[in-house]
Amino acid sequence: MSEFPHALLCYLTEPTPGQPVINVQTPDGQLVRAIVNHEQLKILIARGAEIEYGYVEARA
């Protein structure tokens, strides 16, 4: 997931139930899709919340 540190656009889709896909547009305009696993999805959601709200609460 560190391959796209300067993405212009990034969003998640789930074209197949249970299989999340991250869609990324790089600065050169290239569109890239990658299947993410459960752990990567948790990291993406936590990082997005941290960017949006400035913090993330860890919950059990």
Residue 59 within a domain: no
Residue 35 within a domain: yes
For 14, the domain range is 9-53
Q: Are 14 and 20 in contact (CB under 8 A)?
A: yes
Residue 39 within a domain: yes
How many domains does one find in the chain?
A: 1
Q: Is the dihedral of CA 41, 42, 48, 51 positive or negative?
A: negative
Q: Render pLDDT for 2-53 as a digit per residue (tens, 0 to 9).
A: 665 677 888 889 999 989 999 988 888 899 999 999 999 998 888 888 878 8
**Looking at residue 5, what is its pLDDT?**
62
Residue 43 within a domain: yes
DSSP character string of 16-43: ETTEEEEEEE-TTS-EEEEE--HHHHHH
**Looking at residue 3, what is its pLDDT?**
61
**Looking at residue 4, what is its pLDDT?**
55
